[in-house]
Amino acid sequence: VHLTTFPLGQDYKNIPCGIPFCGVNYFMSKGIIDDSPKEIAKFIFCTRTLNWKKLRIYLDERRDVLDDLVTLHNFRNQFLPNALREFFRHIHAPEERGEYLETLITKFSHRFCACNPDLMRELGLSPDAVYVLCYSLILLSIDLTSPHVKNKMSKREFIRNTRRAAQNISEDFVGHLYDNIYLIGHVAA
């Protein structure tokens, strides 16, 4: 990525054209980025002022770019909920559950495991178990932060429900996950 060619102070939220692909094509035509998934992913990773709704559409269509974007993240030695928050700061979560959210969580789970192989062995976690934990954390986040949920999930309920889905996980580890969400807040905000 030719970061030195970015005009200072440029607002990349308002690129010419309302279609996500058009914006990327505009940057390629100006020589700001090269026409490769890896270069587009680097641009997205390094740029904070993109229109995230359009980016979400773009990444849903360009899974090759999404793959390269995920590999740019280094989650080594990060606690799972904090890594998930970082991930969703770069790749905003969709507002509704569906196939794209499942894809994001799957890609995150595999990347998190690849960055922390020793921890995964120590905890006995697979990418599938991390996927279950991530989905549980997202649901817990919504439960604890939504004003529409009157009876918030307790730590005991979260531990019981999560351990039912991912049995090899220690009660203490799941309890720490709950505490993190309770104290720090939503993972996909």
106 and 59 both lie in a single domain: no
172 and 85 both lie in a single domain: yes
Which token pair is 53? 């709704």
pLDDT tens per residue across span 46-84: 887 778 888 888 899 899 999 999 999 999 999 999 999
Q: Determine the Cα–Cα distance for residues 189 and 138; give it in Å rounded to an integer.
A: 10
pTM of the full predicted structure? Answer: 0.84
- CB 152: neighbour CB atoms within 10 A? 12
- CB 54: neighbour CB atoms within 10 A? 19
Residue 141 lies in a domain: yes
146 vs 176, more confident: 176
Task: Give the per-residue pLDDT at 21.
Answer: 64
Structural domains of the chain, count: 2
Domain termination site, one of 71, 91, 106: 71
Where in the sequence is the domain holding 39, given as residue range(s)? 3-71
* Share of residues in the chain with pLDDT > 70 (%): 88
Task: Give the per-residue pLDDT at 24.
Answer: 79
Closest by Cα among 61, 59, 129 to 90: 59
pLDDT tens per residue across span 94-149: 877 789 999 999 999 999 999 999 999 998 889 999 999 999 999 999 999 988 99
55 and 92 both lie in a single domain: no
Closest by Cα among 53, 46, 3, 2 to 23: 53
Which token pair is 173? 């580890």
What average pLDDT does this structure show over 28-56? 86
Q: Determine the Cα–Cα distance for residues 82 and 50; give it in Å rounded to an integer.
A: 22
Kindly report the CATH number assigned to the domain that includes residue 114: 1.10.1000.11
Task: Give the per-residue pLDDT at 25.
Answer: 80
Residue 189 lies in a domain: no
17 and 60 both lie in a single domain: yes
Domain termination site, one of 16, 43, 71: 71
